[in-house]
Structure 1
Amino acid sequence: MNTTLFPMAGRRFEVDYGGLVAENAYAEDGRSLTYAITSGALAGNTATVSFEWRRLEGGAFAISWQEADGATVVHIDDFDAGRSLAFFTTADRQFHRLEGPLHPLDGGQG
C-alpha cells in the first residue's frame, strides 16, 4: 500500500464519459473518495469507498477500488491533461471501458 498522501487529497473532480457523468471527491486523508453519478443510466448512485493509487510515468495516476456490491473500478486519470480512462466490472460481471474529459470542481489546476 502506498503511504504517501494522494496528491489530489481534498480535491473534487468531474469526469464526463459521454453517457455517464460523475463527481469524485477525494478525502483530505487521501484514503477514501466519494463518487456521485450525476448523469446517465446510473445517475443517483453514490458511495464512499477506500481506494488505492499509484503514480504512473508521465504523471497520470492509476486509482482503484471495490464497491460494496463487489463491482470493481480502475481509473487511469491524468489530472494535468484533463483525461480519464475508466474500466469497471459490475456486480453482474458486465465489463465497461470509458474515456472522457476530467476537470476540477474546486477551481484548482489538475
Structure 2
Amino acid sequence: MKNNLTGNRYVMDVGVLKTELYFETDTSMVFTILEGGGLTKNGYTEKVETTIAEIRPQVYMVAWKEKSGATVTHVEDHENGIIYSNATLADGSFYTMKGTIHLLQDRNLKP
C-alpha cells in the first residue's frame, strides 16, 4: 500500500542528531547522518527495510532495524512538523528524542 512518504526526503532534527530520511519505496528508506552529535559519524548512510503505519493523515509510525543491530521507531507528525524517535542501540542503550521534521524539497528550509 502506497503511503505519502514514498519518494520524499525529509530532514529530522532532534538536537543531538540531524538526519536526512529518504523514503525510497513503501518498504525501504535511506538515512544519511548530517550531524551525528557523537552518536554516529557525520555522512554515514544506510538503506533499511521499514514498516510504516499511518496513524491518521500525515502522522506515521515508522520502524526499522539497522545493520548494527540498533532498532528505531519514529512517530512522524508531518502536519505539525514534530518527530518522536526511540532508538535502542546494539549495546542496549536507549534514547528517546523529540524534534522537528521537514520536507527537504521545501526551498525555505536548509538541511
What TM bracket, shorter-length normalisation?
Answer: 0.7 to 0.9
Q: Supply the distance in 1 between the matched residues of 2:79 and 2:26 (Cα, whole angstroms).
A: 18
In structure 1, list runs of 5 or more residues that go unmatched.
none
Instruction: Report the equivalent of 1:6.
Output: 3
Instruction: Report the equivalent of 2:106.
Output: 107
Instruction: Report the equivalent of 1:84.
Output: 83
Q: Supply the distance in 2 between the matched residues of 1:56 and 1:6 (Cα, whole angstroms).
A: 11
Moved over 6 A (4+): none
Q: CA RMSD in A?
A: 1.5
Report whether the alignment pairs 1:34 with 2:30.
yes
TM-score by length of 2: 0.87
Shift of residue 50 of structure 1?
0.6
Shift of residue 6 of structure 1?
2.0
TM-score by length of 1: 0.88
Deviations 1:67-99 (Å, cap 9, x if unpaired)? 112110000001111010000000111000010
In structure 2, list runs of 5 or more residues that go unmatched.
none
Q: For 1:67-82, list aligned pairs within 5 A.
A: 67-82=66-81
Q: How many residues align?
A: 104
Secondary structure at the residue paired with 2:19? strand
Aligned partner of 1:51: which letter? T
Q: Supply the distance in 2 between the matched residues of 1:54 and 1:91 (Cα, whole angstroms).
A: 24
Aligned partner of 1:104: which letter? L
